[in-house]
Amino acid sequence: MAHFMFLPRRRQFITATLSAAVLSACGGGGSSAPAPSIKSVTAGDTQIVIDWVQEPGVEYWLWFFAGDTVSPGQKTASYRLNITAPYILTGLTNDTKYAITINGRTNGGPGGPGSVVQTATPRAAGSVWLAGGALGNSNALRGVAQGLSSSSATTYSYVAVGDNGVIYNSPAYVSTAALSWTQVQAATGTSLNAVLYALAKYVAVGDAGSVLTSTDTTTWAAATSGTTAKLNALATNSSIIVAVGANGTILHSGDGTTWTAATTVPTTSDLYGVTYSALGLWVAVGANGTLLTSTDAVTWTAVSSGTTATLKAAASMTTVNSTTSVTTYSIVAVGAGGVILSSSTGTIWSVQTQGSANLNAVASSSRFVALGDNGTIYSSTDGTTWTAATSPSSNAVYGVIHADNVFTAVGAAGSSIYSY
């Protein structure tokens, strides 16, 4: 597989359409450089990663164009200035072929000949899955999150939590084909079932009402939840965090540390999943087809789900049509026996079944991915039509997120997989 990297939000660049004045890039008494040798061009989700043999003292420009060919100085092409290898070309359109070439110059001289033109077509993550970095621990992992490495950092990290309270961290995708996990908390006996990054900190919840927070992924402090109920899932709308758990437990917090119980929860069923939709709606799901909604995370209403299957996770997606500017909202819940629920309103739900394996986790970007037992994976662009994907692992997946333009999932026996 080609070598690649992910550096979203890390690098500022200039995008422009060339004019004839830029064509030669002359000046300074410098000279042109030979065409560089391209090592790899790897397509990802809305991005392409280009790696080449970089010579000392050479300034490289990248030229790209939607089509089959491009050349340095092409008036219709776009470019990036003074780039270094490997380089992440972001902001591209999925399913569009791009032609790419790179040329070089020294001391402000004219640009030299371009490298052999390469083409690549970005595509949405979720179709092709690869084995992730080893965690070296047999404890099942229940949740995964991504956020800032520390309160003062501009770099990003991943955190995974699981059974017996184990916690791992990893730098974000940089130059390796998988995350590099390090265990930062040994087994404590109290399992952690979910983790997210919100309100400038990581928040993890688990058995016996346990809540842990961290601003640096390595040092974790206990917070008081006010409950001894098992907490199973977390979600945020960027202003508050909601946790759900056993016996209809629902908590909310404005800082991840101080928690308040919801005032109206019309169920005592165990709750396993929660999501926030840009509709302005929270959705919580659980045992025996339990489905609750709320507009404020305080007062919750029971909604008919149309199933008695246990629902394990939920996710939401907002899509804006680039032609009509019409916004579409989709909410999905998944659960036992391959059941999948979908709704555009949160009040009326459609029910279908994909296969027979339990689906334990779901996340979204420009598409949904649902994962479960025995390496089961499905993806969908609308929440209603689903396509099976092949997993590199037969282990059950319990947690998944989309970040860095990558789906990252964790599960049984300390396993992880990813799709870029």
Lowest-confidence pick of 16-20, 120-124, 136-140, 398-402: 16-20
Same-domain pairing of 89 and 137: no
pLDDT score of 8: 42
Query: In residues, how long is the chain?
Result: 420
pLDDT score of 20: 34
Same-domain pairing of 116 and 170: no
pLDDT band at 174 (very low <50, low <70, confident <90, very high): low
Residue keyed to tokens 């390469």: 118
Phi/psi class of residue 18: alpha, beta or left (left: φ > 0; alpha: ψ in -120 to 50)?
beta
| Those residues with Cβ within 8 angstroms of residue 355's Cβ, 6 or more apart along the chain or in another chain | 338, 376, 388
Same-domain pairing of 139 and 108: no
The residue that leads in pLDDT, 124 or 251, is: 251
63: in domain:
yes
pLDDT at 23 over 90: no
Same-domain pairing of 105 and 180: no
Same-domain pairing of 28 and 161: no
pLDDT at 1 over 60: no
- Kindly report, residue by residue over 269-297, the tens digit of the pLDDT: 999 999 999 999 999 999 999 999 999 99
| Those residues with Cβ within 8 angstroms of residue 134's Cβ, 6 or more apart along the chain or in another chain | 181, 414, 416
pLDDT at 349 over 70: yes
pLDDT at 29 over 90: no
> Across residues 138-142, what is the average pLDDT?
94
Same-domain pairing of 100 and 150: no
224: in domain:
yes
pLDDT at 28 over 70: no
> Across residues 169-178, what is the average pLDDT?
79
> Across residues 140-161, what is the average pLDDT?
95
pLDDT band at 15 (very low <50, low <70, confident <90, very high): very low
326: in domain:
yes
Same-domain pairing of 194 and 86: no
pLDDT at 327 over 70: yes
pLDDT band at 4 (very low <50, low <70, confident <90, very high): very low
| Chain mean pLDDT for the chain | 92
pLDDT score of 11: 38
pLDDT score of 138: 87
pLDDT score of 198: 98
pLDDT at 264 over 80: yes
Same-domain pairing of 149 and 246: yes
pLDDT score of 35: 97
Same-domain pairing of 66 and 139: no
pLDDT at 13 over 70: no
pLDDT at 132 over 80: yes
Alpha-carbon span 130 to 416, nearest angstrom: 9
pLDDT score of 22: 46
pLDDT band at 63 (very low <50, low <70, confident <90, very high): very high
> Across residues 257-271, what is the average pLDDT?
98
- Kindly report, residue by residue over 374-393, the tens digit of the pLDDT: 999 999 999 999 999 999 99
8: in domain:
no
Same-domain pairing of 280 and 414: yes
Domain that holds residue 362: 130-419
For residue 105, the domain's CATH number is 2.60.40.10
pLDDT at 255 over 80: yes
9: in domain:
no
Percentage above 90 pLDDT, the chain: 86
Same-domain pairing of 371 and 255: yes
5: in domain:
no
Answer with the one of 120, 154, 176 that is the final residue of a domain.
Answer: 120
Alpha-carbon span 21 to 331, nearest angstrom: 50
Same-domain pairing of 383 and 335: yes
pLDDT score of 131: 95
What's the whole-model pTM score? Answer: 0.86
- Kindly report, residue by residue over 181-226, the tens digit of the pLDDT: 999 999 889 999 999 999 999 999 999 999 999 999 999 999 999 9
Answer with the one of 50, 85, 120 that is the final residue of a domain.
Answer: 120
pLDDT at 40 over 70: yes
284: in domain:
yes
> Across residues 320-337, what is the average pLDDT?
94
pLDDT score of 16: 38
b or e along 246-278 (b: 16 or more beta carbons within 10 Å of the residue's beta carbon)? bebbbbbbeebbebeebeebebebbbbbbbbbe
Counted domains in the chain: 2
pLDDT score of 2: 39
Within 10 A of 327 (CB to CB), how many other CB atoms are there?
11
371: in domain:
yes
Answer with the one of 54, 85, 120 that is the final residue of a domain.
Answer: 120
For residue 140, the domain's CATH number is 2.130.10.10
pLDDT score of 177: 65
